[in-house]
Amino acid sequence: QVNAFRQLAGSSYDMYPGTKDDSDFDGTQIAWNKTRWNLVPGTAFTYPGPNQCPANNGDPLKADVAKPAVMLQNLQTGQRIWVLDTHHPAVSTACNSQNLRDRSVDVETQMIAQLRAQNPTVPVFLTGDMNSAGPYFCRASAAGLITPAPATCAAPGTQIDWIMSTP
């Protein structure tokens, strides 16, 4: 997918981690338009994501996987943002995938809290395939990933792909 994206997007976009062999990242990439955003030097890193459930074919449980994070700066306004991307474990009968998704939210919440403590004025965007609608929305709301948090926990739909941000 990295090569296909690069062919379609051309040189206008950059990616992190951007490697052809992104097996350590479970395919997860962050891409940005270089004519609008610049990677802030020294800010690209990975954070541990809970392991992935095996497919329902008897494969062993995969090890923890790295997830990408970058700080980008808008070339026109100077505004900086953090972008984290993730892919939560899919529903599987081979392991307790909901438990792994819950762990993922815990890791992301801790990471976002660290980034906000270091840079309180820089918003954090979390994007990804959460493989969950209601349960993810409720945990993310309770953890403060949605601001303002809704009074009741009712997911706005059945989507499993999310973009959330801090203020």
Closest CA to 70 of 80, 56, 57, 79: 80
As a whole number, mean pLDDT of residues 78-107 equals: 80
Given a cut of 60, is residue 57 above it in pLDDT? no
d(CA 86, CA 127): 6
pLDDT single digits (tens) 119-153: 999 998 888 777 776 677 777 777 666 555 555 66
Given a cut of 70, is residue 49 above it in pLDDT? no
pLDDT single digits (tens) 12-30: 998 888 765 555 555 678 8
* 3-class secondary structure per residue, 88-122: CCCCCCCCCHHHHHHHHHHHHHHHHHHHHHHCCCC
Handedness of CA 40, 78, 13, 113 (dihedral sign): positive
pLDDT of residue 163: 73
**How many DSSP H helices and E strands does the chain contain?**
3, 8
Tell me phi and psi for residue 32, to 5 degrees. Answer: -145, 155
| Model confidence, pTM | 0.78
Neighbours of 161 (CB within 10 A): 10
Given a cut of 70, is residue 111 above it in pLDDT? yes
